[in-house]
Chains A and B, each alone.
Chain A
Amino acid sequence: MTDVLMPALMPTENIFPLFVEAMFTKNFLLIMFLGLCSYVGLTTNSDTSKGMSMAVTFVMTMSAILTWPIYYYLLSPASFLGKDLTFLKTICFILVIAAFVQLVEFIIRKFSPPLYRSLGIYLPLISTNCAVLGVVLLNVQEGYTYGASIMYAFGAGLGYSWVMLATAAVREKLIMRGVNLFNGFIGAFFAAMMVALIVVSYFSVVKL
């Protein structure tokens, strides 16, 4: 273990602010614009958005757990290979995420058919969800420690979930009232604007 690797392993930052940042002030859907495809497509119904949020939170946290060691023990110049392979990070991360999602799908299908029926259709969508790849890329780009990166990913997943559920609530209510505009993509963007406006204006007044 050389000195280059040490900063990444040392707990230099406080983990809790990072968690809040990922969940609210730098929310993945509303502020960073990651994972919008699933957001626009699935928030017409609160049940589907609940399933998708659970699946995304789980996959995000697990991919942060899996990719951090791969980056620092295989790709970084300080690893035992001794070569700078960091340019391979995108390709490695996407393969890890896709393989992990496939594995989870097999396991859930074998052991819990009811859970598979509720989550199963969303799992293949997750491997190409930019929020998941985004969180692992941000983890290594910002140089978070192992613990911090797991917390950051978990916070990002929870942030994704609450925004999905909040928007689904807004849209479902308006669709039920007969505002047909909220059925389509346009309505999703108007709903997103309302929720984003709330978050941005709240956190411009309340400083964490």
Chain B
Amino acid sequence: MAKKSFVGEIIRGIIKDNPVFVLVLGLCPTLAVSTSFANALGMAMAFTFVMLGSNIFVSLLRKQIPADVRIPIFILIICTFVTMIDMMLEAFLPPMYDALGIFVPLIVVNCIVIGRAEAYANRNPVLPSIADGIGISIGFAAALILIGTIREILGTGGLKLVMLNVINGDPGFYPLSTIPGFSFVPEVISFHIEPAVVMITPPGAFLTIAMLMLLFKILGDRKRVKQLRKEGYEL
């Protein structure tokens, strides 16, 4: 196997192997919790924790895991991290725990995590697996936050930017303006458009992801046509 750079692996996870738009995996949490920017961010953080933990441990144990029972073992490893993040969210971020609902325990059957354990971490050393985990997590987070932002802007006419912060020893998702250096950001960025409530209902989620996929398909096709023209094909 050719030697791959750490950064190259991360970028591949974000663009070429984007879990939502290219591999079309892990759709349930993508659509269900992307009603707002804040929920998308919370889900992305929980997912990153599980993805990294599972990739590291599967990669460390790859020589010990018998091939016949590898899937149950992957699920057990993933489940350990899911239980950890579930309990941590319940203890430290109760509002986010309530907002994400059963989608945190359901990370255990998320096809992205099992898929990366099977296709990547089980065959590669620890360092590339960490890079892969980071890249895939950023790709997933980007897709979630993109869908969440679009739905929030179109559905409510404004955007509430939040960030994980600790105020008076109380961790939580607070407006971005509470973070030093970002105090110029208003609490709700208004876009002065008539809110279309359908966008935050379930059909809006399907519509958003379909339109985004169509857009990426058109862009990809255009790039391909350009490349073929460069190679001398008549199109």
Contact = CB atoms under 8 A, between A and B. Distances in A.
A37 B214 contact: no
A35 B28 contact: yes
Interface stretch (B52-60, B104-112, B125-133): B104-112
A186 B217 contact: yes
Nearest to B31: A33
Nearest to A133: B109
Contacts, number: 92
Q: Which of A30, A36, A40, A185 has the most CB of B within 10 A?
A: A36
B109 A189 contact: no
A49 B15 CA distance: 32
Interface in B1-59: 24-25, 27-29, 31-32
B111 A37 contact: yes
Given A90-B83, A91-B83, A130 B202 contact: no
A98 B28 CA distance: 20
B24 A130 contact: no
B167 interface: no
A129 B109 contact: yes
Contacts of A197: 198, 203
Given A128-B109, A189-B206, A193-B203, A33 B83 contact: no
B195 to A, nearest CB: 16
B72 interface: yes
By secondary structure, the A interface counts as: helix
A145 B70 CA distance: 36
B27 A33 contact: yes
Interface residues of B, number: 36
Given A40-B24, A87-B83, A128 B114 contact: yes
Contacts of B106: 34, 130, 133-134, 137
A31 B86 contact: no
Interface string B73-92: 00110011011001100000
Given A94-B79, A137-B102, A141-B102, A34 B28 contact: yes
A174 interface: no
A35 B87 CA distance: 24
B210 interface: yes
Interface of A: 30-37, 40, 87-91, 94-95, 98, 128-130, 133-134, 137-138, 141, 185-186, 189-190, 192-193, 196-197, 200
30 contacts: A32-B32, A33-B27, A33-B29, A33-B202, A33-B205, A36-B28, A36-B31, A37-B25, A87-B86, A88-B83, A90-B82, A90-B105, A91-B83, A94-B75, A94-B109, A95-B72, A128-B75, A128-B111, A128-B114, A129-B109, A130-B28, A137-B106, A185-B24, A185-B213, A189-B207, A193-B203, A193-B207, A196-B202, A196-B203, A197-B198
